[in-house]
Amino acid sequence: MNGITPVGEAQITSFLWKIANFVMDVGIVVAVIFIAVNGYRFYTTGHNPGRRTEAMMGLFWSILGGIVVVGAKFFAGVILGFKP
């Protein structure tokens, strides 16, 4: 077949699972960094309510981002037929 090897379903599934694992690993690291940065911002706000609100919203979105990354991997596993 002109040097082209056909790709099976198992190889495609394995490749997509590796991509999902990589995205989750990077996403979790980024979420943890953002949680640490916003936690520090929250800790150093003093009595400034505006900065405190910004830091709390940053913490909220960082935690939500981590949850979305983990949920995306879970649903990728369900779609690809893996048992999570």
DSSP of 1-57: -TTPPPPPHHHHHHHHHHHHHHHHHHHHHHHHHHHHHHHHHHHT-TT-HHHHHHHHH
How do residues 19-57 score in pLDDT, each as one tens digit?
989 999 999 999 999 999 999 999 999 889 999 999 999
- Give the C-alpha separation, 73 to 78, whole Å: 9
Q: How confident is the model at residue 7 (pLDDT cuts 50, 70, 90)?
A: confident
Predicted pLDDT of residue 83: 59
